[in-house]
Structure 1
Amino acid sequence: MRQALSDIAVVQLGSGVAADWCGKVFADLGADVVKVEPPGGDPRRAQRGAFANLNTNKRSVVLEPTPAAAGELLELLGSADLVVEAPGSGGLADRGLDRGEVQASRPALSVVAITGFGATGPYAGYAWSDLVAQTFAGTLVQDRRGHVRLPMSVTQCAVGHTAAFSGLAAVLRSRATGAGAFVDCAASEALATNPTRIGRYLGWEYGERKPLEEMVADSSSTVLPVGPHPCADGFVAMMMIPPQLPEMLAVLDSDELREFFARPDAFVRPEAKEVLDGALYPWLLTHTRQEITDAAQAAGWPVTPVHVPEEVLAADHLHQRGFWQHADDPELGPVLLPGAPYRFTEGGWRLRRPAPRVGQADPPGPVVEERVPPRPTPPVAAAEVDVPPLRGLRVLDLTTVWSGPLLTMHLADLGAEVIRVESPRVFPPTTRGYLPRPNQQMLLSTILGGYGPVAPERPDRPYNRHSLYNSINRGKRSCTLDLRGPEQKELFLRLIARSDVFVENLKSSTLHQLGIHETELLAANPRLIVLRIPPAGLSGDWAHYTGFGGQFDGLTGFASLCGHRGTELYETPTTQHMDSVTGPAGVFALLAALHYRAATGRGQVLELAQSENVLAQLGDVFVDLQLGHQPQRHGNRDPNLAPQGVYRCADGRPLAVTVTDDRAWAALTAVIGRPDLAADAALSDVAGRTADHDRLDEAIAVWAATTPATAAFTALQTSGVAAAPLLTEAELAADPQVLAREFIRPLDSTDVGRFDHLAHAYRGIPLAWERGAPVLGEDNEYVFRELLELGAEDYRRLVDQGVVTEDYLDRDGRPY
């Protein structure tokens, strides 16, 4: 059975979660992925749950990681479209092969290299780990005990998906042009391209580069409830913005609360939190998780239950959707594995076989049939080698808040013409700020915000100057349409007929409530790819749940794993991880669907349930659980690497340190001046160091406290020890690696002018960097006059009706 990527061949070199995940997502959509392992197999095989989850549908070939086996590897590369490598752990150079020479002899071959800091710049070749990459990227979260990494391997899976979509873009470009590419995927840059980091950075630029305060958003520090809160049978996850206050008040049904929050200064009154908590906690503690969730979701107040992994594995919703997939793993026996992070109407995700045994290059089953070359596929990408590969592709963007706009930003980076379709009569809270005109509520909210100055000779329209919106909507166009009107819906369908992709992340029911159905879209354009991005899916018990990523951290079990060792659920830091990882996954799925369309001529509907994408990243947790291993919070430690942690340096700056192997351990002891630790035989392996981790933390902390962060970073990295400082915005802007790689670049946006932005998540193929985020309705004339070919009279009528506008309109049709 043909899958979307059945005609693509990938060779995976080297170890690491990011490379494994990259190879996995190709294999799961049908690509022939060969995992090259050393004799004895990938060291990750010792982590049985992780290996089983990360290597489904692959083949295994054993080659010595030495120049002696270079000839066999070159033969293997002869039929490959893409090499996925992790330099330093069995990549091309580790095997005595020069990448440039390999690609020169195979001009259509592309290579994606996953490193910590990038293949160029002064930090090229520096040692790294998940914690080090998260720290340098600025994606650590914070609770009352300090900075802590996102748990397990979820961020490395996100890096792997970034490598996958950029690698697939390179392959599609090669199919169109004959020119392969070297894709440089630095984990720290891929992770930094998330809404929190890039929005905060642009907010700092907007704020005249004044230092930003670090805020710990938890249940004890904010007026509106954020994070896990206790209830009668456990915890519920909360996250909300001020415009959702009426929905919460309706559920709590307290006259005292209504009276208090009717005051214009309610949020700034010192007793505000005490008054709210006095009504909230008694109600929570007398209701169960499900009772609270049902009441809140029905009213539009975003709340979900907090689950532990065992509850997630047993949840009816996921079994109703068939998410868990039965596998007979050769090492583990019968086991449930996570299913598709995205669902295709045809040609999509399939579990064809479990992870291979060492050297199992041609396992029994359908693999031989699948490797028969399918019929040639017409190219998807632009034919010109020096333009972004998606130039000429049109995307209609009906997305809000963070996850959807970040996804379509990546498509715009790849050269697609992305047109935001925005209703001027429905202001989208959070997407463009909280209200059309800023007020005190916005300043007190826990969600990132910040406004740029008004550019000279431009009107004061704050919704065009919000840092979060402007940071994740670069390169796009904007038109205004209120799809609730029949004429405007007809105009929308005419746009659909002229587009390639439609992306939406509204509530699961909203599209149909607008009278827009998938069948209608495909009838208007049978080649259209429709991507729907609901939080929990379009079917099942949780399908109607809505909210921010913070709620779904609780629903997926993610929150139960996130935080410092020994902390309680109510201390869990708030994250936006689900929003950040939806983008790379969605782009990969769309590129695969476009490739499939090129072969079949058919469009289709894709469903990316954001929470299921996160569950897939946590797959090792659920497999290990079935093997009898109870998950726990590791904080900044890693059960397979020791020591590891975040330490406060002499200048007060946090520094992440990871000892990745025994050689790095010897180097660390030399740098910190502790030969006694190097001589201690009990610490000679990771098991011994893990057992004595507290003592080693103390030793590193003592040294760090006497050394400035930059000096400590340099001393450790030049000795081969993975380390990185946590950078403020000012430090990021001045960092030598950031400057050398031009990771900060200027963009112009109409209402704010020119400001520096964080740049692309990867490099190596032509990418767009032409315009900043559009102001509301900026491209109305282009869309309606050029694309839809409306006459001047019809266009003027739409302007007079307030359909075509550059302002948000109140109920009476007047600009705010």
Structure 2
Amino acid sequence: RELALSADLLIEDFSNKEIRTFGLNFANIRELNPAIIICSMSPFGRGTKWEEKPWSDLTIQALTGMCSVNGEQGKSPLKEPGTESEFITGANAFVASVAALMNRDATGIAQQVNVSVLKSVLHSYSPYLLAALHTGNPRQQQDQGLHFGLVPCKDGYVSLSVRHEPTWEHMWLFFGDPKFAQNPKFDTAIKRRDNEEELSKILFPILANYSRKELLHGLSPLRILVGIANSVSDLLEDEHLKFRNAFVEFENEGKFWKMPGAPFQMSLTPLKFKGELSSKDFSIWDHSANNTSKVFPNSTGTQRMKGPLSGMRGVVLTQAWSGAYSTQLLSDLGMEIIQVESVTRMDPWRGGVPPKLAGLYPESDPGDRPWDRNALYNGVNRGKKAITLDLNHSEAKDVFMELVSISDVVVENFSGRVISNLGLDYDSLRSVNPSIVMVRMPTYGTSGPYSNYAGNGGTTEPVSGMSYLMGYRDGPPINSGIMHTDAYSGVLACGATISALRERVVSGVGQEVEISQQEASMTLLAEYIMEGSISGTSPMRQGNSNRDYAPQGCYRSKDSIWVAISVKTDDQWRSFCHSLGLEDLFAKKDYATKDSRIRNAIQLDSEITECISGYMSEDVAKKLQDALVPCEKILTLLEAAENKDFHEMKLFEEISHPESGNFDYPVPPWDFETTPVQSPGPAPMLGQHSEEVFRDLNGWSEGEIMRFKNLQLTGTDPLI
């Protein structure tokens, strides 16, 4: 209590029972410390009908559709390794906390913020939930192969992205057989997918001659996206990560261990890691002497304003998922976001132009403007303004720099070389605006041997170690069904952006922020990296296991619907067995204690599999939930998007798009007490706001706008 009375921020994730047991009174703390921000995390949201619902990371992933896309066709659905739903919730709590602090410093109004695990996961999956609603055909499990996931090579597995014809041709040039690229059976991505079994018989023996690193260093310079499936040991010995000092080392009782370092780097205010905590870290400090931010007394405490970042502007070069998601979050928080695209090189998530379409359209109909109807783009760009500029042209670059001069933030997620090639590096930007915050999000960061290599979610998962841990026991590594590392990196990038903006209030200058998506994703696996650094061996495929639960897994019921079950405590084990009438199982000594169940987890899992196969899924879920045992039916993405409970809890809102029509989108993951997040409106159409921005912000006449159009430096239709 004394610490809270002198603190700027209180973060808590207590259950209601714990709050009652500990006698916590947050209202009283706020009365005594009007400047404090309280960030509360909960699984389903405080005050909702599911406030007391039992849960685990696995059951959240089941309930949101996350599990349904993971794993091989016909096999058990899989969760993401570790506790990913909790990590992304923590990242969202970071975003909300820093945003609330920044708003308090500016307005004097402190507030409470609520962040739920359920909202965090649903919002992070927005593009694929929207895609399911658009098409009625949710994404499902997919077998690994060249079209998706990992393929074998000499010393392990790699992800290769050769969907586009130039990259397909470059790969065969590297293999020394350029003519094969013209083989009519395989000369388009669709043909390669349709004939993948035959292609694999040709390609896999060739890949067996190359190591992962040979493929990475040989194909990446040819603009082919390559992701090598790294084990924990591989990560700890990787030359790129060593160059970047990506790990921090600690010593305890003569033993050394490593863990991932900071998920982002800040040029002016680098993150600092403390060693082992001592008593002085918990001492009371003089709040007024140590707080460098402007803190004002709370006024009414009930004033309701726009989002906490209202009044700020970002001009951004973000595309696809991670970058676009980070700037959508900034938009959700009230920042004006001007998305800069090009009519000659559209965001790939717009889905292409005829005849090469790759979008997920309403009723699977591309319409006249398919680039404005794709669920992927529309799912991560809500509320933004969109302009088009050909930044390869000096005049267009000048326009961009004018916008930078009147903006607060620039965000980009190109590969490392692109920004320098365009002449838009941080030094160039701050020459026109010393207070600009520039956020860069390349896959491998901006320095190191791999920094110029491009990547995407399909390569980030393997290079971060995620794919090596994901898969069935004794099976090969696999990629997840949807590359969730993109969303996680996007949330962290949003929080880093706000942190730099808050520091700017103190210093008066901006700074460069770098997010290596590889290193950000590695933080999801911190416990495994620490374990591997101590033991000297790499943890293997995790399946649906968790070191603190047994039984835990996905089990096929009598009606062929999979259910996810997590049992952590002895009380839950007793309730599990009694509610399903499994008295003989409960009596077995091998499962009498939590430790014995974890020790015999494989054997226990086999018995649970047999037991659940005799029950209907609805019966299992109801009986176990009533007994306070975490259990959920595994929903598809479409079932999650249409879930009646979610809509009753107002976890979705309808947004009307001029080309796509009316669809439900997940609401943002935070609830701010006094600066509520406003409905941001739909994603923009290509170049929709160019004239508005050029006229209102650049001060152009209609004649100047028309001249730019005639030069094809801007427009609303792609020139591809």
Q: TM above 0.5, one fold?
A: yes
Aligned partners of 1:562 and 1:572 also within 8 Å: yes
User: In the TM superposition, what is the alpha-carbon distance from 1:686 to its structure 2 partner?
Assistant: 1.4
Label 1:588 to 1:262 Cα distance change in 2 as closer, same or farther (>3 A): same
| Residue in structure 1 matched with residue 569 of structure 2 by the alignment | 661
User: In structure 2, which of residues 100, 109, 120 is the aligned counterpart of residue 190 of structure 1?
Assistant: 120
Aligned partners of 1:427 and 1:436 also within 8 Å: no
Backbone CA RMSD of aligned residues = 2.9
Distance 2:331 2:188 in 1: 42
1:206 aligns with 2:134: yes
User: In the TM superposition, what is the alpha-carbon distance from 1:574 to its structure 2 partner?
Assistant: 5.1
* Corresponding letter in the other structure for 1:110: I
Aligned partners of 2:133 and 2:641 also within 8 Å: no
Label 1:147 to 1:438 Cα distance change in 2 as closer, same or farther (>3 A): farther
Distance 2:367 2:88 in 1: 39
1:624 aligns with 2:531: yes
Secondary structure at the residue paired with 1:530? strand
1:763 aligns with 2:671: yes
List per-residue Cα deviations over 1:475-525 (Å, max 9, x = no partner). 111001111111111111000001000000011000111122211101111
Secondary structure at the residue paired with 1:611? helix
1:229 aligns with 2:151: yes
| Residue in structure 2 matched with residue 137 of structure 1 by the alignment | 64
1:773 aligns with 2:700: no
Label 1:565 to 1:205 Cα distance change in 2 as closer, same or farther (>3 A): same
Label 1:227 to 1:736 Cα distance change in 2 as closer, same or farther (>3 A): closer
* Corresponding letter in the other structure for 1:162: N
User: In the TM superposition, what is the alpha-carbon distance from 1:589 to its structure 2 partner?
Assistant: 0.8
Distance 1:710 1:782 in 2: 53
Aligned partners of 1:648 and 1:704 also within 8 Å: yes
Label 1:163 to 1:362 Cα distance change in 2 as closer, same or farther (>3 A): closer
Distance 2:637 2:201 in 1: 38
Secondary structure at the residue paired with 1:142? coil
List per-residue Cα deviations over 1:730-752 (Å, max 9, x = no partner). 53245343123211111122222
User: In the TM superposition, what is the alpha-carbon distance from 1:597 to its structure 2 partner?
Assistant: 0.2
Distance 1:316 1:213 in 2: 36
Distance 2:138 2:16 in 1: 38
1:126 aligns with 2:53: yes
User: In the TM superposition, what is the alpha-carbon distance from 1:280 to its structure 2 partner?
Assistant: 1.9
1:685 aligns with 2:593: yes
Label 1:580 to 1:281 Cα distance change in 2 as closer, same or farther (>3 A): same
User: In structure 1, which of residues 576, 579, 587 is the aligned counterpart of residue 494 of structure 2?
Assistant: 587
How many residues get paired? 710
User: In the TM superposition, what is the alpha-carbon distance from 1:369 to its structure 2 partner?
Assistant: 10
Aligned partners of 1:82 and 1:167 also within 8 Å: yes
Distance 2:350 2:176 in 1: 30
| Residue in structure 1 matched with residue 511 of structure 2 by the alignment | 604
1:260 aligns with 2:183: yes
Distance 2:285 2:249 in 1: 22
User: In structure 2, which of residues 224, 227, 245 is the aligned counterpart of residue 304 of structure 1?
Assistant: 227
1:256-335 matches, within 5 Å, as 257-261=180-184, 267-268=190-191, 272-329=195-252, 333-335=255-257
Distance 2:536 2:239 in 1: 22
| Residue in structure 1 matched with residue 264 of structure 2 by the alignment | 342
* Corresponding letter in the other structure for 1:391: S
Aligned partners of 1:257 and 1:275 also within 8 Å: no
Aligned partners of 2:687 and 2:714 also within 8 Å: yes
User: In the TM superposition, what is the alpha-carbon distance from 1:649 to its structure 2 partner?
Assistant: 2.5
Aligned partners of 1:302 and 1:547 also within 8 Å: yes
User: In the TM superposition, what is the alpha-carbon distance from 1:791 to its structure 2 partner?
Assistant: 1.7
Secondary structure at the residue paired with 2:535? coil
| Residue in structure 2 matched with residue 64 of structure 1 by the alignment | none
User: In the TM superposition, what is the alpha-carbon distance from 1:774 to its structure 2 partner?
Assistant: 0.1
Label 1:248 to 1:761 Cα distance change in 2 as closer, same or farther (>3 A): farther
Secondary structure at the residue paired with 2:94? helix
User: In the TM superposition, what is the alpha-carbon distance from 1:285 to its structure 2 partner?
Assistant: 1.4
1:790 aligns with 2:717: no
Query: Which 10-residue stretch deviates more, 463-472 or 787-796?
Result: 787-796
Distance 1:272 1:473 in 2: 35
| Residue in structure 1 matched with residue 86 of structure 2 by the alignment | 156
| Residue in structure 2 matched with residue 97 of structure 1 by the alignment | 24
| Residue in structure 1 matched with residue 350 of structure 2 by the alignment | 432
List per-residue Cα deviations over 1:625-663 (Å, max 9, x = no partner). 222163122211112221111112333222111112122
Label 1:422 to 1:202 Cα distance change in 2 as closer, same or farther (>3 A): same
Secondary structure at the residue paired with 1:544? coil
| Residue in structure 2 matched with residue 20 of structure 1 by the alignment | none
Distance 1:313 1:264 in 2: 39
Query: Which 10-residue stretch deviates more, 623-632 or 341-350?
Result: 623-632
User: In the TM superposition, what is the alpha-carbon distance from 1:258 to its structure 2 partner?
Assistant: 2.7
Secondary structure at the residue paired with 1:126? coil
Aligned partners of 2:80 and 2:480 also within 8 Å: no
Query: Which 10-residue stretch deviates more, 675-684 or 661-670?
Result: 675-684
User: In the TM superposition, what is the alpha-carbon distance from 1:423 to its structure 2 partner?
Assistant: 0.9
1:170 aligns with 2:100: yes
| Residue in structure 2 matched with residue 410 of structure 1 by the alignment | 329
Distance 1:334 1:282 in 2: 41
Secondary structure at the residue paired with 2:281? coil
Label 1:628 to 1:264 Cα distance change in 2 as closer, same or farther (>3 A): closer
Aligned partners of 1:112 and 1:183 also within 8 Å: yes
1:218 aligns with 2:147: no
User: In the TM superposition, what is the alpha-carbon distance from 1:374 to its structure 2 partner?
Assistant: 3.7
Distance 1:703 1:646 in 2: 12
Aligned partners of 1:362 and 1:368 also within 8 Å: no
Query: Which 10-residue stretch deviates more, 243-252 or 109-118?
Result: 243-252
Distance 1:634 1:215 in 2: 17
Distance 2:579 2:127 in 1: 37
User: In the TM superposition, what is the alpha-carbon distance from 1:240 to its structure 2 partner?
Assistant: 4.4
User: In the TM superposition, what is the alpha-carbon distance from 1:361 to its structure 2 partner?
Assistant: 4.5
Distance 2:23 2:189 in 1: 67
Gap regions ≥5 residues in structure 2: none
User: In the TM superposition, what is the alpha-carbon distance from 1:230 to its structure 2 partner?
Assistant: 2.2
Of structures 1 and 2, the one with the larger relative CO (CA 8 A, separation 6+) is 2
Query: Which 10-residue stretch deviates more, 794-803 or 478-487?
Result: 794-803
Aligned partners of 2:64 and 2:637 also within 8 Å: no
Label 1:454 to 1:791 Cα distance change in 2 as closer, same or farther (>3 A): farther
List per-residue Cα deviations over 1:423-448 (Å, max 9, x = no partner). 1111333x211x21254x73xxxxxx
Gap regions ≥5 residues in structure 1: 1-72, 443-448, 811-816
1:248 aligns with 2:181: no
| Residue in structure 2 matched with residue 389 of structure 1 by the alignment | 308
Distance 1:105 1:266 in 2: 64
User: In the TM superposition, what is the alpha-carbon distance from 1:155 to its structure 2 partner?
Assistant: 3.8
User: In structure 2, which of residues 622, 625, 628 is the aligned counterpart of residue 714 of structure 1?
Assistant: 622
User: In the TM superposition, what is the alpha-carbon distance from 1:727 to its structure 2 partner?
Assistant: 1.6
Distance 1:227 1:581 in 2: 19
Label 1:619 to 1:692 Cα distance change in 2 as closer, same or farther (>3 A): closer
Distance 2:346 2:639 in 1: 36
User: In the TM superposition, what is the alpha-carbon distance from 1:89 to its structure 2 partner?
Assistant: 9.0
When the two structures are superposed, what TM-score results if normalisation uses the length of structure 1? 0.81
Aligned partners of 2:256 and 2:534 also within 8 Å: no
User: In the TM superposition, what is the alpha-carbon distance from 1:241 to its structure 2 partner?
Assistant: 3.0
Between the aligned residues of both structures, percent identity stands at 26
Label 1:91 to 1:496 Cα distance change in 2 as closer, same or farther (>3 A): farther
